[in-house]
């Protein structure tokens, strides 16, 4: 099925993006990434530690030929740090993709809209494909589109909470008003929720915790793959409308029955 998702000159064939954090070990993560069919995964940056050399994912991920790497800026507390993290990430990934995430509060990990906006301005100028992780705020989404972000990534719910599309109504508005792709990131727990996001008109979803924390991550990744494909196919097929019962007690158009 030829239904690619394009960002400027980069093209993705899968609408499921995978986060590589929280897995028990590298082998499980790689198996899940493969099962998901994804062609874009996020990675984080951390100090090299010889004692934990197996944490270095570069080697294992490089073996998955078609999978692109998107560094994230997690750990950054403000725009300046996020910009520096993005520059470092680009050195390694050699790609323009950057997931801009700035969440200074470790209890809820919700994104800082102000620092994110400031960082996005600079990163867009530096020719990154900026995919900012944001609260589901339609005005913020337009602001980020204005400064040149390649997409917007509103959260469904706070990271790791698995509360699904708690921001669905706001996401609907973002989809309606934004001209760049809308990718739901964070909070998804079940493949049905990913399907729902695609059915609403999102271009893709990014899933991490739901797969890494599942009993069988590889199988869950495969389930998310079919969920995303199903949601996208349904959206393209045109869902039937929810009905709206009429409530007026007397006819509204009787004034038209006169001859013109």
Partner 1 sequence: MQIILNGEPHPLEGDYTLLALLETLEVEKEHTALMLNGAVIPATSWHKHILKENDEVEIMVFVGGG
Partner 2 sequence: MINSLPNWLDPTPWIEHSQSTDLQAIKNAIYSDHPGERELALMLSPAARPLLETMAQRAQAITRRHFGRTIALYTPLYLSNYCNGGCLYCGIAADRRAIRAVLNVEQLDRELDAITQAGLDEVVLLTGERMPEADTSYIREAIERASQRLNNINIEVFPMEESEYRSLAEAGCTGVTLYQETYDPIVYEQMHRWGDKRDFESRLDAPHRALQGGLRTVGLGVLLGLADPSADLIALYRHATHLLKTYWQAGVTLSFPRIKPQMGGFQALHPVDESMLAQAIFALRICLPAVPLLLSTREAEAVRNGLAGIGVSKMSVASKTTVGGYSDTAEASTEQFSISDERSIDAFCAMLREKGLEPVFKNYDAIYREPTVYATRS
Tell me which residues are annotated as active site: 99
221 to 240, contacts with partner 1 by CB under 8 A? Answer: none
Contact region with partner 1 (CB under 8 A), list: 45-53, 118-126, 165-173, 221-229: 45-53
Pick from 224, 134, 213, 222: nearest CA to 180 = 134
CB 4 within 8 A of CB 188: no
CB of 11 to partner 1, least distance (A): 23
Q: Which of 212-240 are b and which e, b meaning 16 or more Cβ less than 10 Å from the residue's Cβ?
A: bebeebbebbbbbbebbbbbbeebeeeee
Phi and psi dihedrals of 212, rounded to 5? -65, -35
- 179 binds partner 2 per the rule CB under 8 A: yes
Closer residue to partner 1 (CB): 69 or 82: 69
DSSP for residue 182: B
Contact region with partner 1 (CB under 8 A), list: 114-122, 163-171, 202-210, 247-255: 202-210
Closer residue to partner 1 (CB): 88 or 139: 88
- 38 binds partner 1 per the rule CB under 8 A: no
Angle at 155 between CA 234 and CA 180, to 5 degrees: 65
Pick from 119, 124, 123: nearest CA to 76 = 119
Query: H or E element: which one contains 11?
Result: strand 10-12
Member of 12, 16, 35, 61 binding partner 1 (CB under 8 A): 61
- 42 binds partner 1 per the rule CB under 8 A: yes
Contact region with partner 2 (CB under 8 A), list: 49-57, 108-116, 211-219, 236-244: 236-244
- 106 binds partner 2 per the rule CB under 8 A: no
**147 binding partner (options partner 1, partner 2, none; Cβ < 5 to 8 Å by kind):** partner 2
Cβ partners under 8 Å of residue 111, min gap 6: 101, 102, 103, 132, 133, 134, 135, 155
Closer residue to partner 2 (CB): 106 or 241: 241
- From CA 74, how far away is CA 43, in angstroms rounded? 9
- 107 binds partner 1 per the rule CB under 8 A: no
Helix (H, G, I), strand (E, B) or coil at 223: helix
Closer residue to partner 1 (CB): 56 or 169: 56
The position carrying tokens 């709206």 is 244
Binding stretches for partner 2 (CB under 8 A): 142, 146-147, 176-177, 179, 201, 239-244, 246-248, 251-253, 255-256, 258, 260
Binding stretches for partner 1 (CB under 8 A): 19-23, 29, 42-50, 55-59, 61, 69, 71-72, 74, 84, 87-89, 91-93, 159, 186, 206, 208-209
């Amino acid at each position: 099925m030829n239904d690619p998702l394009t960002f400027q000159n980069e093209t993705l064939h899968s609408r499921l993006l995978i986060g590589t954090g929280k897995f028990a070990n590298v082998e499980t993560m790689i198996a899940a990434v493969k099962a998901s069919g994804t062609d874009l995964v996020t990675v984080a940056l951390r100090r090299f530690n010889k004692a934990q050399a197996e944490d270095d994912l570069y080697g294992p991920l490089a073996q998955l030929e078609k999978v692109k790497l998107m560094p994230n800026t997690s750990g950054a507390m403000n725009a300046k740090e996020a910009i520096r993290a993005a520059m470092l990430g680009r050195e390694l990934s050699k790609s323009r993709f950057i997931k801009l995430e700035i969440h200074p509060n470790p209890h809820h990990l919700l994104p800082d809209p102000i620092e994110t906006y400031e960082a996005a301005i600079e990163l867009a100028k530096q020719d990154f494909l900026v995919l900012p992780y944001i609260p589901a705020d339609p005005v913020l989404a337009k602001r980020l589109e204005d400064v040149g972000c390649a997409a917007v990534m509103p959260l469904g719910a706070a990271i790791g909470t698995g509360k699904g599309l708690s921001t669905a109504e706001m996401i609907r508005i973002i989809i309606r008003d934004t001209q760049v792709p809308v990718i739901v990131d964070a909070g998804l727990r079940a493949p049905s929720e990913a399907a729902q996001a695609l059915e609403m008109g999102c271009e893709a979803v990014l899933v991490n915790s739901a797969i890494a924390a599942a009993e069988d991550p590889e199988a869950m990744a495969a389930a998310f793959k079919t969920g995303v494909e199903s949601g996208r196919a349904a959206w393209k097929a045109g869902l039937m409308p929810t009905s709206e019962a009429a409530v007026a007690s007397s006819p509204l158009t009787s004034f038209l029955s006169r001859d013109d």
